[in-house]
Structure 1
């Protein structure tokens, strides 16, 4: 839940007297409750019996796979129940650069794949193939990913929206489906609509959960249709983003709203290429040659059909810089290049056509993007060894798992695994209880144990809970004595967050100096306009420039606010003058 907006000082956040947060009383509810071995991510466990199957697709980041420093994608997968075909089917895919169609990659091949993202199509098609072979009508599709795996997730969702899902056993058609999906020409959009109508089924993606999605794949940025813009077939979109990442090739790829009332500062593209295009006077039309015609409904839908060959041309008027900082980003195409405007219109007209063929109305996506402390791998995991007791990546991992419950995904989790990742089980089952911001710091004895590195490992937490139909010890008195002796292992979730927030930030520009080579490569960057109320896109060397936060009310996880209030952390991303951070619990 969101709390009030705050602001102060050199960064827009209120500096109030920090009231340390309370350590809740002994978790007697957890101790006395017998938890089932697996629980569904539902707000009310009474609904579990009526819940259908869930398909969970997890796509890892560049070079990430199961190893000694696992990402949050692997950690999330470790919490899932597997081999429950009637209730849930899971799929994990290691990151770009780890394999191709010929098998595992290593050496030069792996490095090249990670550098230019040559295996992106293979990863998208493999995940699509899994869905094709396993989907049944009524299944909930949940997609999760980190880094370029998060970008792959968005591409997969875009492919499902643009060309639909082929029936099982049609593997020979997947390459054709992908070809039409990635073709962003007017003819490609038209053929995608026809391919979807002829061969495929409309499916909705219920949940998309991303850890720090990056905008580019490789040295050469690639954009596939619907990979960055929203689709109308996603119910819930959740995104954990890194405040401290500042490498040039790790620009965060946020949800692009199409709401005219969007509270985000506009961006004007002032790169040389864009300015030349805006200066061209000849008329430009998206489809065919000659003057196009506009229907009564602005060309969207006429008599239940959409003519993709009747689209208004993109005008070059009204793009003076002074008009760019007074509204949303997409609605009026303000500050966008001609190519971006073309694609935006193509997507909108495709959606209008698609809407005439859908059995159900398009959904309005519930979007939540929250900023967390740390760099890229501090949010998505993989920055430190698995056995490290406290790490920043634990916080967005627990947050994402909680979002699965808040969004009623029905994902089937292993109870012991959730406990061993630091979650308060009594707040997840049998009724979901949203987290509350703590108001007191942990007990002095607990802080003393933390300072001495004497806290019990996380994987001991589940041993202190009754899970399943049997007791861990036949003699209840022995179990009670065991539990009392190891009570410190069952710390409240807020206390785990409190200590994890004190873990060091893993900045790759400091730890691996080789990344600086790319900082001197000219790229498009956003710089704050002189008026301070909007952004200008220019070609610059990045030189370790921190990310731009374009929202006017960006959401900040409560652990960041507490660290700022304690003087342990300073928010570094660039914001507009009218930006006010909103604390999120």
Structure 2
């Protein structure tokens, strides 16, 4: 029997390790199964591991299709086939999709800081880093997060060679249990030979793949290896992806702050200014640009600092950002000691008009640019400083991963020790950073000690190219 204490422990473990991601994905799948009608536009949103859940849901729809309504008994089987990544799993998914499901497209995926950790033992689910069904993909990513279990999970942009790969023809497989490539598909010899290996051998470490990591913070122990399961999955994903003349419109933009400063949760929703308001406004604007048809309540747009007239019927280009001027990066507020109201200290006292009056309405600033400026100077809530317990996972050896530019995950066993995030493929694709980051870099700190030392905000990752500043 689940007691409140057991339920709380389960919730904490799910927060740390996403142990119930299968339940969340199947729940979302059932909702779409019951709600979807022909012509609907599917838009999926999520933050943190909810972002990974959103991408997994889209991946499940890609791999097994969408069941017709009221097929609840089939959903667990569909998820099992989706999560199975060996040859049999891919073939069963393909046959299941053709026999029972309908093909649907994903209009828009909007996610905030997708994180890599989906269990105590990291495992990537199919089509979570690339999905040809997705028309538009938008991702707001944290620059300053550094916890071991919060590594950024970025989208993979296929190379020109990968784009040439087509659908398999199971009736012309070159080997038993191995999907054949389409006639016009071209792949490199390494990928083909890898596919034809027996599934039992795919976890063996090939010569030259294992090497000692370079000495440096966060990589001081263990051996670094390329995950062969990821390599196999990448090949299968390209083979089982529909040929689509329309490429996914991808944009991943980096924002100042840690995990909760990008997706929300670091401060109360009633807080006047916070870093999380910036990526929220950016995402809303991207939704309007993509013409998804999503309806918004006008008053809510105003509350987050947006002028609805600049979004519909046409998205108006933004003017230049305001100068920082004398504005400074604000300190994190000190938590006040709670004091009982005076009315509770005496039995006969009654609340006055002042006690029950509503707070004055929030006065909106003149423009979204002014909102951006004030929000960009809000404090960063680094959980390694706010909640010291997170350091436990930084100072013990863990199986850690980082993402290469070719969508392969490199696994190593060692200490993370608050290692900054790595931005791959900067020279190939550049790096897009929101212009509010530049405002923060130009401003001084409100903290006098930091000012005396000449400290200014610097993003934690290393930029190897000049960023493209996004408004």
Q: TM-score range with shorter-chain normalisation? A: 0.7 to 0.9
Summarize deviations over 1:248-284 as a string: whole Å, max 9, x none.
000000001212499xxxxxxxxxxxxxxxxxxxxxx
Determine if contact 1:287/1:309 at 8 Å carries over to the other structure: no
Tell me: CA distance 1:252–1:292, structure 2 relative to 1, closer, same or farther (3 Å): closer
Following the alignment from structure 1 to structure 2, what is the Cα–Cα distance between the partners of residues 173 and 103? 32
Summarize deviations over 1:372-430 as a string: whole Å, max 9, x none.
01000000001111221111111111111111011111101111111111102221133
Determine if contact 1:293/1:311 at 8 Å carries over to the other structure: no
2:432 aligned residue: 555
Q: Does 1:574 align with 2:457?
A: no
Select 1:512's aligned residue among 387, 405, 408: 387
Determine if contact 1:437/1:558 at 8 Å carries over to the other structure: no
Summarize deviations over 1:224-261 as a string: whole Å, max 9, x none.
1112x201100000000111100000000000121249
Following the alignment from structure 1 to structure 2, what is the Cα–Cα distance between the partners of residues 216 and 193? 27
Summarize deviations over 1:514-554 as a string: whole Å, max 9, x none.
000000233335599xxxxxx97643301011111123121
Matches within 5 A, 1:214-293: 214-227=115-128, 229-260=129-160, 288=176
Tell me: CA distance 1:104–1:193, structure 2 relative to 1, closer, same or farther (3 Å): farther
Following the alignment from structure 2 to structure 1, what is the Cα–Cα distance between the partners of residues 179 and 96? 25
Give the match's secondary structure for 1:215: coil
Following the alignment from structure 1 to structure 2, what is the Cα–Cα distance between the partners of residues 137 and 215? 33
1:158 aligned residue: 59
1:167 aligned residue: 68
Give the match's secondary structure for 2:94: helix
1:564 aligned residue: 441
Give the match's secondary structure for 1:438: coil
1:341 aligned residue: 231
Give the match's secondary structure for 1:489: coil
Give the match's secondary structure for 1:412: coil
2:338 aligned residue: none
1:378 aligned residue: 261
Deviation of the 1:563 alpha carbon = 1.6
Select 2:24's aligned residue among 108, 117, 123: 123
Following the alignment from structure 2 to structure 1, what is the Cα–Cα distance between the partners of residues 110 and 81? 26
Summarize deviations over 1:287-322 as a string: whole Å, max 9, x none.
659x9988854589xxxxxxx99954599699799x
Select 2:399's aligned residue among 507, 511, 523: 523
2:448 aligned residue: none
Determine if contact 1:241/1:252 at 8 Å carries over to the other structure: yes
Q: Does 1:363 align with 2:246?
A: yes
Determine if contact 1:147/1:213 at 8 Å carries over to the other structure: yes
Tell me: CA distance 1:310–1:202, structure 2 relative to 1, closer, same or farther (3 Å): farther
Give the match's secondary structure for 1:145: strand
Following the alignment from structure 1 to structure 2, what is the Cα–Cα distance between the partners of residues 261 and 437? 39
- Greater relative contact order structure (CA < 8 Å, 6+ sep): 1
Deviation of the 1:117 alpha carbon = 2.3
Determine if contact 2:322/2:370 at 8 Å carries over to the other structure: no
Summarize deviations over 1:190-248 as a string: whole Å, max 9, x none.
00000000000001101000100001124332321112x20110000000011110000
Following the alignment from structure 1 to structure 2, what is the Cα–Cα distance between the partners of residues 141 and 292? 30
* Structure 1 residue ranges (4+ consecutive) displaced by more than 6 angstroms after TM superposition: 102-105, 291-295, 314-321
Following the alignment from structure 1 to structure 2, what is the Cα–Cα distance between the partners of residues 104 and 418? 39
Gaps of 5+ in 1: 1-99, 263-284, 301-307, 322-334, 356-360, 454-485, 529-534
Determine if contact 1:164/1:196 at 8 Å carries over to the other structure: yes
Matches within 5 A, 1:171-570: 171-227=72-128, 229-260=129-160, 288=176, 297-298=184-185, 312-313=196-197, 336-351=226-241, 354-355=242-243, 361=244, 363-440=246-323, 489-520=364-395, 521-526=397-402, 538-552=412-426, 553-568=430-445, 569-570=456-457
Tell me: CA distance 1:415–1:566, structure 2 relative to 1, closer, same or farther (3 Å): same
Tell me: CA distance 1:440–1:115, structure 2 relative to 1, closer, same or farther (3 Å): closer
Deviation of the 1:565 alpha carbon = 2.4
